[in-house]
Amino acid sequence: MHTIEDIKQRIKSGESTARAEVEAALARAKQHEDKNIFISLTPERALERADEIDEKLKSGEIVGSLAGVPFAAKDNFLTLGGTTTAAAKLLSNFEAPLQATAIEKLEAEGAICIGKTNLDAFAHGGSTENSAYGPTKNAVDDSKVAGGSSGGSAVAVALDIVPFTLGTDTGGSIRQPASFNGAVGVKPTYGMVSRYGVVAMASSTDCIGCFAGTMDDAEQVMGVIAGQDEKDMTTLADYYTPAKVKQSAKIGLIKEFMGDGVDDEVRAQVKEYAEKLTVAGHTVEEVSMPITKYALAMYYIIVPAEISSNLARFDGVRYGQRAKDATNLDELYNKSRGEGFEAENERRIMIGSYVLSSGYFDAYYLKAQKARTLLINAYNELFETYDVLLGPVAPTPAFALGENTSDPIKMYLADAMTVPASLAGLPSISVRGGTTKAGLPIGIQLTAQQQNDSELFAIAKTMESHHG
Amino acid sequence: MTQISRDDVQHLAQLSKLQLDDDEADALAADITKILGYVEQLDELDTENVEPSYQVTGIKSVWFEDEVQRSDVGREALLELAPEAVENQIKVPKVL
């Protein structure tokens, strides 16, 4: 595995250079082309930046904590040097005039973006099958999905192409593909990382996070991208500090996530992880959170509502693909959007329009936002006693390509265990929990109170050192 | 359970500024009916006297100083993004 530290050491000792590391990462990306991980590679800009960093290293200038470390970003982060498509036809030629805050912060530390990874169009989906560029294949099994929506970013890390990638997680889009491919996946507290320059999906739950091979690398990346940003007024005042190792945490295992509908092998892995936590000195107790049963229903009202509003900006007027032969402005909107969106985008936009319509607003949207309060209250109650909550990331390991594409509800159910933390704005991570007998990775989900992100790293790290 | 018809879908499509053919509309009518049927389980929850949670971290309105902020992105760069631009303006077909 190429960790951030390995790469830094190689460059520091003179064994390697930033250029050599970027070239090697690009070569690995090419070697795995059949997985359809990248929508675009940007070798020109990446190598130019690598040479700049190598120059600075030679002359002894300070070049940052990630100098020469290659990474990739989900293709909904605005970047310079290539396209930002959000995996949608509507933005297939879009070249951003600015960069996302998270990208700027990584570049300021010397990290080098080598390309943009595949996703469900506009991040709507849980399998990366809704991409206009075709699905990404699972890291370990070509017949299985990568998960999603940040499928490409998860597979890029799982196959060791780059030590870390950026993703977005609105309802599980980092944690679930991390679980499906065997990477570490981090969704921080809502507002820890600026959303500026990232294609918006649902503004009240959208979070920027990362995939990495190790907890240490994930923690380091989050430390770089975290922080208040005047360009995103929902960012929190800086609070993030490196983890303090807690000797004995109190951990609640959510009963409702271990019942029927959860794959036996997934349940067994979570139980095994719970036992290991106990051996490591933590206390694990079963807890009940009946309201989680309703979280998915809340999510599929609130999120489409926000999507229908956020995606109104894609109109074919100021940027993006414009339909040919429209004779008036209304036709231009309707055709450009109809041609530029994928079916799942349209489904969510229309559900959003429906639940926000006068006459239905109270029954759906307001009802869901009130139910969300009940969910938050249930979490708060548990956090009075427990430091961290534990459960699976997803009810199953990676499912087969095409298995859930004809039934949106079946596809949505893959998010049932990740959306609760999203609705409550909680930090939640996916850590490796072993594999099925067939070799498919299984992720374990750890969730903490708002702004207790570092506690999750601390616990996960004690587990890595105890059990590899 | 709420039933969504092809006409309902075409009305929603109009509100959402989406052009759909009848096949797409029929498929969406079935999907949307199914999804609304699923989310309607929230009716089982008693939410009387419960406040909605539109924002989850407690941040209230955040204000900027009333000062002009210069963007790094100039007018030229923005006009270049437009599918059609003429003399510093974005061109669209007739409005009516």
| Whether residue A74 lies in the annotated active site | yes
Which of A322, A333, A364 has its CB closest to that of B39? Answer: A364
Question: Chain-wide mean pLDDT for chain A?
Answer: 96
Range of the structural domain that residue B33 is part of: 6-44
Pairing relation of β-strands A164-169 and A207-212?
antiparallel
Closest partner CB to A351 (pick from B32, B40, B93): B32
Measured in degrees and rounded to the nearest 5, phi and psi for residue A46 equal -65, -45
A251 and A113 both lie in a single domain: yes
Please state, for a pLDDT cut of 70, what percent of chain B lies above it. Answer: 100
> What is residue A182's predicted lDDT score, i.e. its pLDDT?
97
Asked if residue B35 belongs to a domain, the reply is yes
pLDDT band, residue A59 (cuts 50/70/90): very high
B89, part of any domain: no
Rg over alpha carbons for chain B, rounded to the nearest Å, is 22
Q: How many domains does chain B have?
A: 1
Whether the predicted pLDDT of A466 surpasses 60: no
State the nearest Cα–Cα gap between A300 and chain B, in angstroms.
Answer: 7
Quote the DSSP letter at residue B80.
H
Number of structural domains (chain A) is 2
Residue B35 maps to which CATH number? 1.10.20
| pLDDT 10s digits, A265-317 | 999 999 999 999 999 999 999 999 999 999 999 999 999 999 999 999 999 99
Q: Are residues A283 and A305 in the same domain?
A: no
Q: Rounded mean pLDDT of B4-10?
A: 94
> Is there a single domain that holds both residue A312 and residue A358?
yes
CATH number at residue A11: 3.90.1300.10
pLDDT band at A244 (very low <50, low <70, confident <90, very high): low
Helices assigned H by DSSP within A311-452: 329-340, 343-356, 367-383, 408-413, 419-424
Give the pLDDT confidence score for residue B69 in this predicted structure.
84
Q: Do B27 and A343 touch (CB under 8 A)?
A: yes
For residue A191, pLDDT beyond 60: yes
Partner-chain residue, chosen from B17, B51, B53, that has the shortest CB–CB distance to A334: B17
Chain B residues within 8 A of A374 when measuring between CB atoms: 45, 47, 50
Task: Give domain status of residue A201, yes or no.
Answer: yes
Residue A95 in any domain: the answer is yes
3-class SS at A256?
helix
pLDDT per residue over A366-388, tens digit each? 999 999 999 999 999 999 999 99
Residues 6+ positions from A340 with CB-CB distance below 8 Å: A88, A89, A90, A91, A314, A316, A320, A321
Domain containing residue A332: 297-362
Q: CA quadruple A357, A377, A457, A435: dihedral positive or negative? A: negative
Give the rounded percent of residues in chain A with a pLDDT score beyond 70. 98
CA within 13 Å, CB half, B64: 9
Comparing CB atoms, the residue among B16, B20, B81 nearest residue A319 is B81
Residue A329 near chain B (CB below 8 Å): yes
Residues 29-58 of B with CB under 8 A from A: 31-32, 34-36, 38-45, 47, 50-57
Are A169 and A313 members of one domain? no
Kindly tell me if the per-residue pLDDT of A457 is higher than 70.
yes
The model's pLDDT over A84-110, given as tens digits with 9 standing for 90+, comes to 999 999 999 999 999 999 999 999 999
A193 and A336 part of one domain: no
- Residue B78 lies inside a defined structural domain of this protein: no
Examine the domain organization and report whether A67 and A106 are in the same domain: yes
Q: Is residue B25 part of a domain?
A: yes
Query: Which domain-ending residue is among A309, A334, A362?
Result: A362
Of A362, A388, A416, the residue at which a domain comes to its end is: A362
Inter-chain contact A190–B57, Cβ cutoff 8 Å? yes
Helix axis angle for B22-39 and B6-15, nearest 10°, is 90
Q: Per residue in A397-428, pLDDT tens?
A: 999 999 999 999 989 999 999 999 999 999 99
| Mean pLDDT confidence for B20-46 | 95
Closest CA of chain B from A340, distance in Å: 10
Q: pLDDT band at residue A260, thresholds of 50, 70 and 90?
A: confident
- From the list A341, A369, A409, the residue facing B34 with the nearest CB is A409
DSSP A434: E
B96 with A368: Cβ contact below 8 A: no
Residue A468 reports pLDDT greater than 50: no
> Which residues, in sequence order, are CB contacts of B90 under 8 Å at separation 6+?
A317, A318, B79, B82, B84
The answer to whether residue A367 is domain-embedded is: no
Are A189 and A41 part of one and the same domain? yes
Q: Are residues A49 and A143 in the same domain?
A: yes
Whether the CB of A440 is below 8 Å from some CB of chain B: the reply is no
> Do A310 and A260 have their domain in common?
no
The answer to the question of residue B39 being in a domain is yes
**Which residues of chain B does A189 touch, with a Cβ-Cβ cutoff of 8 Å?**
57
Instruction: Give yes or no: residues A436 and A320 share one domain.
Output: no
Based on the fold, state whether residues A128 and A7 are members of the same structural domain: yes
Looking at the domain assignment, is residue A349 inside a domain? yes
Nearest to A334 among B18, B34, B56 (CB): B18
Q: Which residue of A has its CA nearest to B24?
A: A343
E strand or H helix at A447, and its extent? strand A441-448
Cα of A79 vs its chain's centroid, Å: 17
Structure tokens at A348: 């969510």
- B27, part of any domain: yes
Which pLDDT does position A243 carry in this prediction? 65
Q: Compute the Cα dihedral for A188, A193, A195, A198 and give only its sign.
A: negative
Q: Could you tell me if residue B11 is inside a domain?
A: yes
Pick the residue from chain A with its C-alpha nearest to B80.
A319
A98 and A222 assigned to the same domain = yes
- Exactly one of A131, A173, A194, A428 is catalytic; name it: A173
With CA atoms as reference, the chain B residue closest to A354 would be B12
* A360: contact with B, CB 8 A cutoff: no
Quick: pLDDT tens for A112-132.
Answer: 999 999 999 999 999 999 999
Q: What is the per-residue pLDDT for A467?
A: 47
A122 in contact with B, Cβ within 8 Å? no
Using an 8 Å CB-CB cutoff, list chain A residues near B82.
317-319
Is A370 touching B (CB cutoff 8 A)? yes
CB-CB neighbors (< 8 A) of B50 in chain A: 370-371, 373-374
Taking the Cβ of residue A332 and every Cβ of chain B, the question of whether any pair is shorter than 8 Å is answered with yes
Nearest to A169 by CA among A189, A144, A139, A145: A189
Q: Is the dihedral of CA B62, A421, A107, A224 positive or negative?
A: positive
Q: Is residue B30 part of a domain?
A: yes
Virtual torsion, Cα A28, A113, A138, A85, nearest 10 deg: -130
- Asked if A388 and A249 count as a contact pair (C-beta separation under 8 A), the reply is yes
Q: Which of B20, B21, B38, B53 to mutate to test the interface with A (most CBs of A within 10 A)?
A: B53
Q: What's the DSSP call for residue A362?
A: I
Buried b (16+ CB within 10 A) or exposed e, A211-221: bbbbbbbbbbb
